[in-house]
Amino acid sequence: MKTRQDAWSHEDDVLLAETVLTHIKEGSTQLKAFDEVGDALNRTSAACGFRWNAVVRQKYLKQIDSAKRERKERKRALSASYFSQARIGKTESPSRTFYQTATGDGGAVTLESIIGQLKQLAQTEPASSRLELENKQLRAQLEEKTAKLNELETKLQRNKQEHSMIEEDYQSLISIMNRARRLAILEEDEQDHPAFRMDANGNLEKLSK
């Protein structure tokens, strides 16, 4: 029965913080960290948890965030390595691959390392499947938007061609009207009795005799 009642020292707080941060980095739980510190300091796990949440945790907020980021990076690296090996199709047996991953640097396999590896695989595989699904959805959306963009580009080119044809017809009409005005003016000059005159807007109007 753990009945220790003395006050927490600075060294006790440091041990508690370092142990919790280590467990966070490795993807373990804080409860396991409290158990480990409790065994080391002859305190209950509940007492360690209360000390962490009430006093120590506020002093290590930045370190906690850093530990969480490191845990995510480890999971991401593990997931990338796992799927890379699956794509390459190595002939190495699954048991051998799992052994090397669990031991890291080639050390002895422990029950804790195997359990930790299984937990990490269980956490990373669903995340990777979700990322793959999101990637497919984004590709489908990109292809759809690209098709719409090409369609709009085709319509724009067609409109430009139609506008160019209308502009040509308009210029031809203006040219015909200008020639007609000049001919009418020449006829008036020759007859000395102009039948038409040009108003202020440049339009021809017939004169009454």
Q: Are residues 139 and 169 in the same domain?
A: yes
Determine the 3-state secondary structure of 198 from DSSP.
Answer: strand
In a domain, 195, yes or no: no
Residue 186 has pLDDT above 70, yes or no: no
- CA angle at residue 123 from 58 to 63, to 5 degrees? 20
Q: Are residues 18 and 72 in the same domain?
A: yes
- Compute the distance between CA of residue 86 and CA of residue 88 in angstroms, rounded to an integer: 6
C-alpha separations of 126 from 15, 65, 75, 99 in Å: 34, 23, 12, 22
Angle between helices 61-88 and 111-191 (to 10 degrees): 80
Residues ≥6 apart with Cβ < 8 Å to 112: none
Residue 11 has pLDDT above 70, yes or no: yes
- Provide the Cα torsion 151, 154, 156, 159; round to 10°: -130
- Per the DSSP assignment, residues forming a β-bridge with 206 are 196
pLDDT of residue 74: 86
> Domain span at residue 67?
1-91
Region 143-162 average pLDDT: 84
Region 41-50 average pLDDT: 95
Tokens coding 10 = 């600075």
pLDDT of residue 106: 47
What single-letter DSSP state applies at residue 139?
A: H
Amino acid (one-letter) located at 44: T
Q: Are residues 83 and 111 in the same domain?
A: no
In a domain, 191, yes or no: no
In a domain, 188, yes or no: no
Note the pLDDT tens digit of each residue in 79-130.
776 656 655 555 445 555 554 555 554 445 566 677 777 777 766 655 667 7
Q: Are residues 32 and 115 in the same domain?
A: no
CB 38 within 8 A of CB 47: yes
- Compute the distance between CA of residue 209 and CA of residue 199 in angstroms, rounded to an integer: 17
**Domain ends where: 60, 91, 122?**
91
Max avg pLDDT among 5-14, 48-57, 78-87, 137-146: 48-57
Determine the 3-state secondary structure of 205 from DSSP.
Answer: strand
The residue with tokens 């369609």 is 151
CB 157 within 8 A of CB 165: no
Q: Which of 65, 32, 66, 61 is nearest to 48 (CA)?
A: 32
Residue 75 CA, distance from chain mean position: 18
Residue 185 CA, distance from chain mean position: 73
The confidence band for 3, taking pLDDT boundaries of 50, 70 and 90, is low
Split into its structural domains, the chain has a count of 2
% of the chain with per-residue pLDDT over 70: 67
Region 177-205 average pLDDT: 68
